[in-house]
Amino acid sequence: MVVNFKYMKILKLIVVFILYSPILFLSLFYSFVIRVSEKIGHIPKYNNPDPNNIGFDRHMVLIDRSADFLLVTLFFLLVAAIAMGFKKPLLGISSKHLLVSLILLVIVLFTFLSPLMEWYSD
């Protein structure tokens, strides 16, 4: 079987992008919090103000879309960890990328447990 290395490189780039996609979610979410804080003059709290009534609808849509990648990231991280258990790196992706992705997902978890996410989800 002949493997086209050009497509393997592209696939590797896609997987690395997915592994680092929590940075996108975190950046969008915290930039939204900063924008709202600047507009209302204080850090938002539960039900004060309602995020849907702020007027940053496009920003909220981007946050929601970027959150879709989080489950995909977790899936790829699990598959890569299983592959590493068999001593075969997935697509030649370094374990450093997997470690950074895991750390980012832990930060996302703490973000989901924060009062800011409770406000956002309101």
Distance (Å, whole) CA 99 – CA 85: 14
Residue 87 pLDDT: 65
Please give the single-letter amino acid code of residue 56.
F
**What's the residue count for the chain?**
122
Per-residue pLDDT of the chain (122 residues; tens, 9 = 90+): 455 677 778 888 888 888 899 999 999 999 999 999 999 888 888 878 888 888 888 999 999 999 988 888 888 888 777 776 666 666 677 778 888 888 999 999 999 999 999 988 87
Residue 99 pLDDT: 85
Helix (H, G, I), strand (E, B) or coil at 45: strand
Cβ distance 115 to 45 under 8 Å? yes
Whole-Å CA distances, 35 to 15, 19, 27, 118: 31, 27, 12, 17
Rounded to two decimals, the pTM is 0.82
Cβ distance 53 to 122 under 8 Å? no
Cβ distance 101 to 22 under 8 Å? yes
Cβ distance 104 to 23 under 8 Å? yes
Domain boundaries, the chain: 5-121
Backbone dihedral angles phi then psi of residue 47, each to the nearest 5 degrees = 65, 20
